[in-house]
Structure formats: C-alpha cells, structure tokens
Amino acid sequence: MPHETLAILFLLVCIAAPFVWAGIALSRSRFTLPQGILWVIALLLVRLLWRTNLPRRKPAGSEQGAVVVCNHRSSIDPFFLQVCFDRPMHWMVAREYVESRAFGWFLRTCEVIPVSRSGSDMAATRAAIRYAQRGDLISMFPEGRINMTDKLMLPVRPGAILVALRARAPLLPCYIDGAPYRGTAASPLFMSARVRVRFGEVIDLSSYYDQETSDMLVKELMTRIVKEIARLAGQEDFKPEFAGRKWKPTEDELLADIESLNRRERRDA
C-alpha cells in the first residue's frame, strides 16, 4: 500500500510540475493572462511538434527592446521568436487577418500591428516605432512575404532599418532554419519539423541616429544585417538583393515559388 501511495504521489507531481513551472514563468513575465496562456501553448508546439533547438539565453542587449530582423520561411515564424522572450513581441500582419473572425481574436491578443498589403503603410510603421520607442520588441521580416524558394532570402526592403533609426532602438539579427510550411497559414500545425533558431549580436545604431533620410546609409545597414543573418545560416558569401519599397510579387512569381516549394518537399521526402 505505501508503494502504491508513493507511485500515485509521484504521478501527480509529474502531472503538476509543468503547470507549476508555467505559473512561475508567467508570474515573472510581462504577459497578460491570455497572452501567457497563448505563450505556453506556443512553447509546447515549438518544443514538441516542431522539435525546436532554441537559444539557452536571451540575446545580450535585448532587455531594453530591439527590432528583431529575421528570414521568413513559414507563417509560424513569430512563434519561434516569441517563445525566446518573456514579454510580448509585436510583428506586422496583413490587416484582413487581424479583422477576420477566425484569426482576429488571436492576433489582437498578441498585439500584432495590422498592415496594408499595398507595400506602404505609414500607420503600421508609426505603430512599430511607438512600440520600439517604449522599449518593446518588434519582429520584422524584410523579405515582405514567405520565402518558398531555394534562395536563403528574397529581395529585402529597408523598413526594419527605418523603424530602428527613428525609434533609436538596436537591431537584433535572427535566423530560423527548418520552419515547416506547405502553402497555407495553418499548414504548419499539421506538420512535424526539426527547427533551429539562432540569434546574432545586437547591433548598436546610436552613431547613426537622425540619419534615416540617407538612402545610402539605410541600404548599407540593411546589407549589414542581412549578411549577419547569412552568417548565422552558414552562407557568408550571400549577396543581399533589394526590392522597391512598394514591391509586390506577381501572380506568376507566387505560382513559381509554390512550385519551388513543392519540388523541395519532393526532393527532401
């Protein structure tokens, strides 16, 4: 009988331990209760379904806020970034998703920044600057869309640099490898993967403040951070390409990207 009691107690402790850990972690975080619950769910997905290798420590220098610049391979890339921090991270999402009944409640709880698909949305840019100025984390994907090609990164736009300079916030490069995606926003939820997340060193921009009107400087800084992402990916010879600020892919380009994604999946199967 004592052995059975001990076994039951041990089982109860094993069941309760994750919830106790989650409660302690959330009590020390800056999340609201709904955000904290979503963070725990995201962490379980990231760890168990997508078997993600996460950094053991938060990137040094990011405690006061930063603009995180990352490659973009999947609709759930923000999950991999958010679980690395104990406070909300804001990222831009197409306005129609934020206003939809299916995803709107989730996205608004996560305090995302609604953005127009037109390629130029000053209201969204100003919101990102406000968040960064108050010391929050902003994640930005300079490719502007999910990369379904064999290239490391698609042509990039300079928005992340402009936000960082105007908000007087540092840049934090990040590389995500192996994120699952099969053409739709929900597809990663039905896919297993083995993902790796790597952060670089924080890039201090204080010597460049008030120079965001210099196109040459903005391009130079964008090149610098994309090359840092490429270094994290082990492709130090990668040469960044630049897109116009209002650049949007054509339907033919999107179809070609999807076909490239399908070919890569068939090859890796």
pLDDT tens digits, residue range 194-239? 999 999 999 999 999 988 889 899 999 999 999 999 999 999 999 9
**Residue 102, domain member (yes or no):** yes
Prediction pTM value:
0.83
Domain membership of residue 5 (yes or no) is no
Exposed / middle / buried, residue 111 (Cβ in 10 Å: 0-12, 13-18, 19+): middle
Confirm whether 13 is domain-assigned.
no
Task: Determine, yes or no, domain membership for 261.
Answer: yes
Angstrom CA distances, 70 to 92, 154, 175, 229, 256, stand at: 13, 12, 6, 7, 23
Residue of 246, 249, 243, 251 whose CA lies nearest to 118: 246
pLDDT value at position 101? 83
Domain count within the chain: 1
Q: What is the pLDDT of residue 5?
A: 65
Is 1 among the domain residues? no
Domain membership of residue 16 (yes or no) is no
pLDDT at residue 76 in the model: 96
In which element (H, E) is residue 77 found? Answer: helix 77-82
Beta bridge partners of 93: 114
Nearest to 140 by CA among 150, 151, 121, 149: 121
Question: For residues 46 and 195, is the Cβ–Cβ distance under 8 A?
Answer: yes
Which pLDDT belongs to residue 213? 82
pLDDT tens for each residue of 91-119: 998 888 888 887 889 999 999 999 886 65
pLDDT under 70 in the chain at which residues? 1-29, 60-62, 117-120, 245-269
Q: What is the dihedral of CA 25, 139, 184, 50, to 10 degrees?
A: -40
Give the per-residue pLDDT at 264. Answer: 57
Kindly state whether residue 60 falls inside one of the protein's structural domains.
yes
Name the residue range of residue 251's domain.
Answer: 33-268
- Residue 228's nearest CA partner among 51, 84, 59, 74 is 59
21 belongs to a structural domain: no
Look up residue 224 and give its DSSP letter: H
> CATH number for the domain including 76?
3.40.1130
| pLDDT at position 255 | 55
